[in-house]
Amino acid sequence: AQSVAQPEDQVNVAEGNPLTVKCTYSVSGNPYLFWYVQYPNRGLQFLLKYITGDNLVKGSYGFEAEFNKSQTSFHLKKPSALVSDSALYFCAVLTSDMRFGAGTRLTVKP
Amino acid sequence: DAGVIQSPRHEVTEMGQEVTLRCKPISGHNSLFWYRQTMMRGLELLIYFNNNVPIDDSGMPEDRFSAKMPNASFSTLKIQPSEPRDSAVYFCASSGPFVTEAFFGQGTRLTVV
């Protein structure tokens, strides 16, 4: 079955430090991978996607993600975290439909 | 475009009542998804339409749940009869026509008492 996994329920970082939110995938064939962010009482907002091409994908709000085929990973990164980045982050894979990971709650402390 | 529009934003109903959630996808999108989000189960895909045709409804919990897409600009998710365990936030999302990200509505928070 096509799926993504987010091994961490919670990630805590200090403001100004780099952040990484992990995602691994299990897909037959070429994966189409996405990251979304959810703020309280809001719908999911698209951050970035990997379809093909460059393994380093840049997205909204200074986020980027690196596609690693050998490790079947698509980790979300940001060089310098902001308190306002605190939210719930979802990794997703698109095959015939879109399947989401369980989500990782990112908390950035001042 | 106003994005994916869901109504109502909040719904409180009594157990046993029928509930209908509505969704207007983004114009031009040909895929529509219904998701349910709870603390316990996270974000679950309930059903997926492509060109108004249900493609995969394996995520629909039971026969009490039904979804329709009578045309490209409207979809409904109905629960009849509703139960307290149906309480959740229900999201509609649309995408397409090519390999693109899904755009989400603001969600409907359903509370069944």
Measured in angstroms, the CA of B16 and the nearest CA of chain A are apart by 26
> Is residue B1 pLDDT above 80, yes or no?
no
Q: Which residue matches tokens 């698109």? A: A94
Report residue A63's pLDDT band, with 50, 70 and 90 as the boundaries.
Answer: very high
Label residue B30 exposed, middle or buried (CB < 10 Å: 0-12, 13-18, 19+). middle
Kindly state the average pLDDT of the residues B42-65: 92
CB atoms B45 and A32 under 8 Å = no
CB atoms B99 and A103 under 8 Å = no
Q: For A77-90, give the DSSP string.
A: EESS--GGG-EEEE
- What is the average pLDDT score of chain A? 93
Q: Among residues A13, A16, A27, which one has the least CA distance to residue A89?
A: A13
- Return the CA Rg of chain B: 13
Report residue B111's pLDDT band, with 50, 70 and 90 as the boundaries.
Answer: very high
Kindly state the average pLDDT of the residues B105-110: 96
Report residue B100's pLDDT band, with 50, 70 and 90 as the boundaries.
Answer: confident
A53: left (phi over 0), alpha (psi -120 to 50) or beta: left
Of A43, A44, A97, the CB nearest to B48: A97
Q: What is the pLDDT of residue A42?
A: 86
Residues of chain A with C-beta less than 8 angstroms from the C-beta of B42: 100-103
Tell me if chain B has a CB within 8 Å of the CB of A83. Answer: no
Q: Which residue of B has its CA nearest to A34?
A: B101
Q: Which of B43, B58, B91, B98 to mutate to test the interface with A (most CBs of A within 10 A)?
A: B43
Tell me if chain A has a CB within 8 Å of the CB of B21. Answer: no
Percent of chain A predicted with pLDDT > 70: 99
Summarised one tens digit per residue, pLDDT across range B67-98 is: 999 999 999 999 999 999 999 999 999 998 77
CB atoms A46 and B102 under 8 Å = yes
d(CA A105, CA A95): 25
> Is residue A43 pLDDT above 80, yes or no?
yes
- What is the average pLDDT score of chain B? 93
